[in-house]
Each structure stands twice: as structure tokens, then as C-alpha cells.
Amino acid sequence: MEMLTNREQRVLDYMCEFGSITSLQAFVDLGETRLSGCIYQLKKKGIGVSTSFMEVKNRYGESRRVKRYEVA
């Protein structure tokens, strides 16, 4: 397997520790603003990452769907 960058390793570690990651979690907890790009690189390097959607409420109480990434 190809060597992971620090940013890729942090995202992978987060998914392993907490089970999954969303863009908001990546931004707040890791300072990562381009989670989808990081996930793309992880997949390209052979890391199995699955994607699902979850419903969340925004500040106005409206439902929104967000992507959740998990190590497959």
C-alpha cells in the first residue's frame, strides 16, 4: 500500500476510532475542509471506504441528507 499523508492518516484514524466521519465532523474536529478529496485519495491508495447517507436537522429544523464515510 502507498504511504498515506498526515491528513489522510488523520481521517482514517478518525473513522477507525469513531466508526464514521461526515464533512462537518472533519471540519470541526480535524480542520479538514476537503473531506471528499481526502476520501478519494484514500480509495485510490487501496483503502476500502463505503459511503452512506444520513438525515440531520439544520438550524431551522429542516431535514437534510449528508454523506457519511466508513472504513469498509
Could you say which DSSP state residue 33 is in?
S
**54 inside domain:** yes
71 pLDDT more than 90: yes
Total structural domains in the chain? 1
Please indicate, yes or no, if residue 16 is contained in any of the structural domains. Answer: yes
Please list the residues that pair with 48 across neighbouring strands: none
Domain limits for position 26: 6-71
Tell whether pTM > 0.85. Answer: yes
| Residue 1 maps to a domain | no
CA-nearest of 71, 2, 62 to 39 is 71
What digits encode the pLDDT tens for the residues 32-49? 999 999 999 999 999 999
What CATH number is associated with residue 67? 1.10.10
> Mutual orientation of helices 35-44 and 6-18 as an angle, nearest 10°?
90
The answer to whether residue 67 sits within a structural domain is: yes
- How many residues belong to the chain? 72
Phi, psi of 48 (to 5 degrees): -75, 115
